[in-house]
Chain A
Amino acid sequence: MIMNIKFLGNFKWQLVALLAGEAVLLAYNEAWPAQLVFLAAIGLWARSHLSSQRKFAVSQSNLSNIAATRKKKLQVLPASTEEVRSEASRLINDVSADLVQQRSVESDAIQQLIASFNGIENSIREQAQLTQGLIALATHVDSAQQTAGTSYVDEIISIVHRMAENIANTGKSSVALVNVLSTMKTQIEAVDKLLGEIGSISKQTNLLALNAAIEAARAGEEGRGFAVVADEVRTLSHRSSEFARQIEEQHRGMKHAMAQAAGVIGGIASQDLDLTRGTQARVQEIMSEVEGNNEKVALQLGQISTISDKISAEVGVAVRSLQFEDIVRQLTERVDARVRVLDEGFLVVSSAVGAVVNEADPATVARSLEGARESLKSAIEARMVVHQEGMDDGEIELF
């Protein structure tokens, strides 16, 4: 192209020379006005044309220089691009190494976590079984008792009731005894009166006998027989008095025994009073409390059992979620593969830059780049295979 410009430049100079010759010829023929105008026109055209020709010549020179400089500079590009690619490749290798290390660490940790969670799950299962056992104990119901429809608490209440019934029966007997003793007391008091009457009769009899003896003495011999009778009556009176005294003595013994019996009854009644004072109500209250507490314990144990079930379920979810290790491993392997593709892409681009700089066939370079693009596209499409994003049940779909 530069040669063409040079050729065109020479032709123009020949044209200028022709026109200048024409102007000399006109001057020789003394056609001055026309010659001057013609010369002026030629001069102006030539000046203008020469100026542009000069400029054009300068541009041509500069372009050549720029192209040379640019080519020289572009020669650096392949090396620089290769350096970048090399650095990128090292980086990608590092990423791959990190991914391998990450897989290793994750795998170890997750294996330990799975073992730990399995241990927890087993412990929770055992705990749940123990809790169930405690619930059965707390309700005091075993299978036999369930059949009978009774519980330990019911049995205890029944025993307490039976004891209270026995005590009540004893109480009834004691009441009967109190009544008997009261009757005895009344009768003893009546006997007291009768003994007093006997004493009075004895005294009167003695007095009568004494009077009879006095009257018999007054009667003299005729009254001797009567005196004997009066004496016998006095003797009988003394014997009656003595007999009444002995009865009274026995009676005092009876009264004393009676008072002792009353004292014993009083003691029993006193104990009963203290026992009675809210005792049965308190027993009922205690049994209610025991029953209430048992119900609370059973309820709370039930809650513990429910919590254990929840924990067990949560642990199950956790164990299931730990399967992400498998997914993550596959994902990291995929990342590894993709950065490898990226590495190859860098290589292709680097090669393409070199080829362009070395004025290779653009179509060839384009094909190379198209191949790299296809590889990258394949890598992008491969990502779509793993679409597991959560760890919910049933969402696991491994490739």
Chain B
Amino acid sequence: MKKILVVDDEAPMRSILNDLLGDDYEVTLAANGQEAKELLGTTSFDLVITDLVMPEMNGIDLITSIINISPSTKIIAMSGGGGIQGRFDYLPVAQLIGAEKIFRKPFELSKMQATVAQMLA
């Protein structure tokens, strides 16, 4: 069973993704980038689905770490856009530095499910 690491500081979002993907994949949950980075040091994940705006370590730094620690791990970035209007739209940045797919919250769960299935096929 493919391993997925879901990283989001919002507990409801972690729970939603766990329910969505838990039946088909081995899902691990982390509340921030730092926690995720520590898990990445001990476990090899096939896919990381990460939020961008998080405490401790943000999603951009986490993506950079993933590329260095585990280049083969695929990455999906998701975000509500975040930040002050007119400043960075972090999702394109995430894509620029290595996220294969991006999801702007709120998104259709079925699309996420289909994308994950496609990436891990």
Contacts and interface: CB of A to CB of B under 8 A. Distances in A.
A52 interface: no
A169 B87 CA distance: 7
Contact of A273 (B86, B88, B96): B88
B27 interface: no
Interface residues of B, number: 23
B95 A182 contact: yes
A59 B38 CA distance: 141
Interface of B: 52-53, 55, 58-61, 63-64, 82-90, 92-93, 95-97
Given A269-B60, A273-B60, A168 B87 contact: yes
Nearest to B92: A178
5 contacts: A168-B86, A181-B96, A272-B83, A273-B82, A276-B83
Contacts of A272: 83, 87-88
B86 A266 contact: no
Interface of A: 164, 167-169, 171-172, 174-175, 178-179, 181-182, 185, 262-263, 265-266, 268-270, 272-274, 276-277, 280
Nearest to A179: B92
Nearest to B58: A273
Secondary structure of the A contact surface, majority rule = helix
Contacts of A171: 83-84, 86-88
A174 B93 CA distance: 10
A263 B60 CA distance: 10
Most B CB within 10 A of own CB, among A167, A178, A181: A178
A276 B97 contact: no
B59 to A, nearest CB: 8
Contacts of B85: 168
B86 A265 contact: no
Contact of A172 (B64, B87, B95): B87
Given A270-B60, A273-B59, 10 more contacts: A167-B84, A167-B87, A168-B86, A178-B89, A265-B96, A266-B96, A266-B97, A269-B88, A270-B61, A273-B83
